[in-house]
C-alpha cells in the first residue's frame, strides 16, 4: 500500500447506523441532570461536629471504533523530491490503528485501518469521593475533598493488553476549602480555572452519561475524553491555591496560582521549554441564576469568562543555524503562554443549550502546554476551539443530545514556509467531532448510547476519519 500524495484524503464515511443516529439527534436540544445529595457516613452530633459524606459512580460501555487513520508511526504525506514522509505534529488526543499482520500489505509499516471493539469506562469512569466538613464557627466552614478515579479497562504494557491487568487508579482530587463571609479559599490539587466552564458544558449537557472520543483505541486510563481535544480544552487538575469572592447578584470571581507547567521537546518542536519562573495565573468570572448543579424543576443560567497566563523559559542555548535561517535561542529566552475563553449553559423547562470558545498561544488541542505549543524557532502557535451542545430531557426519563466541536492550530511563518532542509513536519490543522447521545434514566441508573464522527486534518493535507459508537450503563450514588 503506497503512501497517499499530499492532497489525498483518508476518509471513511459514517456507517448507516451512525448516520441514522446522528440525523435523529440533529434536531434535539438540553436540560441538565438532577442534582443528587451526598450519602452521609457520620452523625455530626456524635463526631464533634465533623460530617463525612460520600458520592461516586461506576459505569461500563461497550465501544466500537472504525475508520481509517494516518500511518501508525505518525508519518503523513510524501515529501516532494523523494525525501521521505512528513512527520505529523499533534493532536494530543490521537487515534492509532491496530497492528497490521506482516504479510497483509506490501508495506507492513503502514497501518491505516481501524476496526476495534473495547469495553471501557466513560467520560468519568469509576469515581469514589469522600467529603469531610465541620462548621468551625458560626460563619466559617472547613471542608476537605478526596476523590479517587479508576479505569475499568486494561492498559497496554509493552504493546500488549494483558488479560488480567490491574486497573489504573488516579487520586484526582485532594484539597481543603475554607468558606468565610469574605470569600472561599481552596488549597491542594483541584480542577484548573482556564476552560473549566467549557468542560462543565460538556459534562452537564452530554458526556456525563457517555464516552464520546475514546482518547485512543487502546486507552487504559481512568476516563475517556468526551469532547476533550474535539472543541473542549481540558482545564487539568493542578496543585494550586485559589480564592473566590463572595457571590454578589450571581457574580463571582475566582483567581488562582497554580504549579507551572513545562513544554516538552517533540516532533516539530525540538526546543525544550522547561524553566518555570513564576506560578501560572488563572482566573474565572462566573454568573449564575436558577437551580444550581442541574437540579430539576427550575430554570438555570450559567455564564463564564476565564483566562490563563504563564511565563516559560529555555534552560539550554540553541546555536544559530544560518544555512536554515534559524536565529538560535539563548538559554535565558522566555515566552508567554496565554489563553482566554468564555461561554455558558442553561435551560428552560426541558430545553437546554450550551457552548464555549477559547483561544491563545502555547496551548494545544486537548491540553495546554502540548506538543503543538511552539515551533522550532520558538514561536508560540495560536490555538482556538469551540463547542456547542443541545439537549432535551423529558419527564419520562428520556434524554437526547447532540454536539459539534472543533479544535484548531494555526501555522506559524516557519510552519508555513520552512527552509527546504527543514520541511519535515505537518502540523495538525483541525480536530472536528459531531456527537449524539440517547439516554434513559431509571432512578440512579442510566442506560445510554452515544456516538461521534471524528475528522482530523493536518496542514499538509493528511486526513483521519473515524466513527465511534458506545453503549452501556452507569450507576451513581
Cell digits for 351?
Answer: 430545553
Q: What is the DSSP string of 248-298?
A: BTTEEEEEEEE----B--BTTB---EEEE-S-EEEEEEEEEEESGGG-TTS
Q: What is the domain-level CATH number for residue 233?
A: 2.40.160.10
Domain-embedded: residue 104: yes
**Residue 449 counted as domain residue:** yes
| 319 neighbors 327 (Cβ within 8 angstroms) | no
In a domain, 3, yes or no: no
Low-confidence ranges of the chain (pLDDT < 70): 1-36, 71-73, 92-93, 96-111, 267-270, 292-298, 325
- Cell numbers placing 3: 503512501
Assigned C-alpha cell, 29: 436540544
pLDDT digits (tens, 9 = 90+) for 26-46: 333 333 344 467 888 888 888
Provide the domain limits for residue 391. 16-476
Domain contains 1? no
Residues whose CB falls within 8 Å of the CB of residue 283, separated by 6 or more in sequence, listed in order = 193, 253, 254, 255, 256, 306, 307
The count of structural domains within the chain is 1
242 part of a folded domain:
yes
* Residue environment code for 441-451, b if the CB has 16+ CB neighbours within 10 A, otherwise e: beeeebebbbb
Beta-carbon contacts of residue 206 (< 8 Å; ≥ 6 apart): 212, 226, 227, 389, 391, 401, 403, 435, 437, 450
Q: Tell whether 10 is covered by a domain.
A: no
CB 89 within 8 A of CB 462: no
Residue 31 lies in a domain: yes
Please give the Cα distance from 450 to 245 (Å, whole number). Answer: 38
CA distance 32 to 201: 10
| CB distance 470 to 211 below 8 Å | yes
How far CA 124 is from CA of 205, 216, 293, 353, in Å, comes to 14, 15, 17, 21
* Per-residue confidence (pLDDT) for residue 27, from 0 to 100: 34
| pLDDT tens-digit map of 225-246 | 999 999 999 999 999 999 999 9
The C-alpha atoms of residue 153 and residue 167 are separated, in whole angstroms, by: 7
Which residues have CB under 8 Å from 195's CB, separation 6+? 232, 233, 234, 235, 306, 339, 341, 356, 358
**For 58-68, what is each residue's pLDDT tens digit?**
999 999 998 88
Assess if residue 210 is contained within a domain: yes
pLDDT at 24: 37
Amino acid at each position: 500500500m503506497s503512501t497517499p500524495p499530499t492532497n489525498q484524503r483518508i476518509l471513511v464515511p459514517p456507517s448507516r447506523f451512525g448516520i441514522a443516529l446522528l440525523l435523529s439527534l440533529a434536531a434535539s436540544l438540553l436540560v441538565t441532570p438532577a442534582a443528587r445529595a451526598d450519602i452521609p457516613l457520620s452523625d455530626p452530633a456524635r463526631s464533634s461536629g465533623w460530617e463525612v459524606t460520600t458520592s461516586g459512580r461506576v459505569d461500563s460501555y461497550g465501544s466500537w471504533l472504525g475508520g481509517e487513520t494516518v500511518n501508525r508511526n505518525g508519518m503523513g504525506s510524501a515529501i516532494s523530491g523523494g525525501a521521505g514522509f512528513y512527520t505529523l505534529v499533534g493532536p494530543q488526543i490521537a487515534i492509532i490503528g491496530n497492528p497490521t499482520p506482516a504479510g497483509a500489505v506490501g508495506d507492513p509499516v503502514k497501518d491505516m485501518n481501524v476496526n476495534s471493539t473495547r469495553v471501557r469506562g466513560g467520560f468519568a469512569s469509576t469515581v469514589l469521593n469522600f467529603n469531610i466538613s465541620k462548621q468551625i464557627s458560626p460563619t466559617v466552614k472547613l471542608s476537605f475533598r478526596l476523590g479517587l478515579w479508576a479505569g475499568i479497562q486494561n492498559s497496554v504494557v509493552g504493546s500488549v493488553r494483558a488479560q488480567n491487568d490491574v486497573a489504573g487508579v488516579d487520586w484526582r482530587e485532594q484539597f481543603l476549602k475554607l468558606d468565610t463571609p469574605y470569600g472561599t479559599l481552596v488549597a491542594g490539587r483541584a480542577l484548573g480555572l482556564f476552560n473549566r466552564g467549557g468542560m462543565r458544558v460538556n459534562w452537564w449537557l452530554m458526556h456525563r452519561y457517555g464516552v464520546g472520543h475514546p482518547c485512543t483505541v487502546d486507552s487504559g486510563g481512568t476516563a475517556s475524553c468526551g469532547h476533550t481535544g474535539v472543541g473542549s480544552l481540558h482545564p487539568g487538575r493542578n496543585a494550586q491555591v485559589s480564592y473566590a469572592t463572595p457571590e454578589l447578584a450571581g457574580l463571582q470571581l475566582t483567581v488562582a496560582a497554580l504549579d507551572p507547567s513545562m513544554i516538552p521537546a517533540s516532533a516539530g518542536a525540538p526546543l525544550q521549554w522547561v524553566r518555570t519562573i513564576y506560578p501560572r495565573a488563572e482566573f474565572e468570572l462566573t454568573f449564575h441564576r436558577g437551580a444550581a448543579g442541574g437540579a430539576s424543576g427550575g430554570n438555570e443560567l450559567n455564564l463564564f469568562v476565564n483566562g490563563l497566563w504563564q511565563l516559560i523559559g529555555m534552560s539550554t542555548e540553541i546555536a544559530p543555524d544560518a544555512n536554515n535561517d534559524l536565529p538560535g535561542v539563548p538559554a535565558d529566552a522566555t515566552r508567554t503562554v496565554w489563553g482566554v475563553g468564555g461561554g455558558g449553559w442553561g435551560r428552560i423547562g426541558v430545553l437546554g443549550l450550551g457552548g464555549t470558545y477559547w483561544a491563545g498561544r502555547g496551548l494545544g488541542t486537548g491540553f495546554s502546554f502540548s506538543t503543538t505549543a511552539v515551533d522550532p524557532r520558538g514561536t508560540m502557535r495560536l490555538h482556538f476551539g469551540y463547542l456547542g451542545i443541545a439537549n432535551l430531557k423529558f419527564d419520562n426519563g428520556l434524554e437526547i443530545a447532540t454536539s459539534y466541536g472543533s479544535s484548531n492550530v494555526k501555522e506559524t511563518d516557519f510552519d508555513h514556509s520552512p527552509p527546504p532542509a527543514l520541511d519535515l513536519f505537518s502540523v495538525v490543522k483541525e480536530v472536528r467531532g459531531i456527537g449524539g447521545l440517547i439516554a434513559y434514566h431509571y432512578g440512579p441508573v442510566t442506560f445510554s448510547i452515544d456516538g461521534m464522527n471524528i475528522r482530523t486534518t493536518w496542514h499538509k493535507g493528511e486526513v483521519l476519519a473515524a466513527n465511534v459508537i458506545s453503549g452501556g450503563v452507569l450507576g451513581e450514588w
